[in-house]
């Protein structure tokens, strides 16, 4: 019987915080068919967050050292803290034929698009999740209840800026209910996996 082989797909998802991306990614994280990339950050952990599971929580010094050593595939400062994706991990996962999911901001996605490295450009599928309105985003942020008023104001201001960056993404999902977003996301994943250009008959 014929079988196909393919390299892993690099799914990059960006959205203003509160657009439902974290819940979406949490759902996808549990799926056995791809890996979730654990980023490094200088942000302190929130209650319940675990080192090595949600993020690698680094000191400013350790983050800078990795940056200097060229260990990041991309890195950006978001809401006052540094965030970065480790290059080595991403490469190894994709080469082994496993799909990888990166939850990163618009600046990080821009760096990945511009990387020019064949293993990245051939595997990249970037997806933007657009919140319905700023008012709805604010309502979702408040409902989450993890941020202070000042942090909510910063995040809304950033969201306004981030929402202007949807166009270079290959796909844009207009956020609805959690279930709708997940279905749309799954449809993209499924179609991308069947692209002839990704497959080798063996
Ligand atoms: P949070 O602090 O709420 O977990 O994440 C804040 C923002 O940082 C989110 O928009 C998230 O997508 C982004 N982010 C998380 N990890 C990375 C990363 O490795 N690189 C970049 N550029 N952004 C990241």
- Domains of the chain listed by start with CATH number: 4-37+97-201 (3.40.50.300)
Q: What is the pLDDT of residue 144?
A: 78
Instruction: Compute the average pLDDT of residues 29-47.
Output: 91
Q: Is 45 left (phi over 0), alpha (psi -120 to 50) or beta?
A: beta
**CB of 99 closer than 6 A to ligand 1?**
no
Under a CB-based contact definition with an 8 Å cutoff, are residues 73 and 56 in contact?
no
Full-model pTM: 0.91
Residue to mutate (ligand 1; options 46, 66, 105, 130; most atoms within 8 A of CB): 105
At 145, the pLDDT band (50, 70, 90 cuts) reads: confident
For position 87, what pLDDT does the model report?
A: 95
For ligand 1, the distance from its centroid to the CA atom of residue 146, given in whole angstroms, is 16
Using 50, 70 and 90 to split pLDDT, how confident is the model at 146? confident
Atom 24 (ligand 1) nearest CA: 104
pLDDT tens-place string over residues 3-25: 989 999 999 999 987 677 878 88
CA of 103 to the centre of ligand 1 (A): 6
Residue 60 above 90 pLDDT?
Answer: yes
Q: In the prediction, which pLDDT does 53 show?
A: 92
Mutate to test the pocket of ligand 1, among 44, 48, 78 (most ligand atoms within 8 A of CB): 78
Find how far residue 182's CA is from the centre of its chain.
14
DSSP letter string, 53-106 = TTBEE--HHHHHHHHHTT-EEEEEEETTEEEEEEHHHHHHHHHTT-EEEEE--H
Identify the pLDDT of residue 151: 86
For ligand 1, the distance from its centroid to the CA atom of residue 54, given in whole angstroms, is 11
- Provide mean pLDDT across the span 37-56: 96
Share of the chain above pLDDT 70, in %: 100
55 CA closest ligand 1 atom index: 16
- Structure confidence at residue 141 as a pLDDT band (50, 70, 90): confident
pLDDT above 80 (res 179): yes
Q: What is the pLDDT at residue 136?
A: 86
Q: 149 alpha carbon to ligand 1 midpoint, in Å? A: 20
- Sign of the alpha-carbon torsion through 28, 33, 37, 38: positive
Atom 10 of ligand 1, nearest CA residue: 105
- Res. 192: pLDDT tops 90: yes
Q: Residue 27: pLDDT above 90?
A: no
| pLDDT tens, residue by residue, 152-177 | 898 899 889 999 999 999 999 999 88
- Confidence at residue 1, expressed as pLDDT on a 0 to 100 scale: 76
């Amino acid at each position: 019987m014929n079988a196909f082989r393919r390299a892993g797909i690099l799914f990059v998802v960006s959205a203003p915080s509160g657009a439902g991306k974290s819940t979406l990614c949490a759902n996808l994280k549990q799926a056995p068919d791809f890996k979730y990339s654990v980023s490094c950050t200088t942000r302190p952990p929130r209650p319940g967050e675990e080192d090595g599971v949600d993020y690698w929580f680094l000191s400013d010094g350790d983050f800078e050292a990795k940056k200097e050593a060229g260990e990041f595939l991309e890195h950006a400062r978001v809401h006052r803290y540094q965030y970065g994706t480790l290059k080595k991990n991403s490469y190894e996962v994709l080469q082994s034929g496993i799909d990888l999911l990166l939850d990163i901001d618009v600046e990080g996605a821009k760096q990945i698009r511009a990387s020019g490295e064949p293993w990245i450009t051939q595997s990249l599928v970037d997806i933007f999740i657009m919140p319905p309105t700023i008012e709805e985003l604010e309502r979702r942020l408040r409902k989450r209840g993890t941020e202070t008023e000042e942090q909510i104001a910063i995040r809304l201001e950033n969201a306004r800026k981030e929402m202007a960056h949807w166009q270079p993404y290959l796909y844009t999902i207009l956020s609805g209910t959690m279930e709708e977003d997940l279905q749309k996301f799954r449809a993209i994943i499924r179609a991308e996996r069947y692209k002839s250009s990704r497959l080798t008959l063996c």
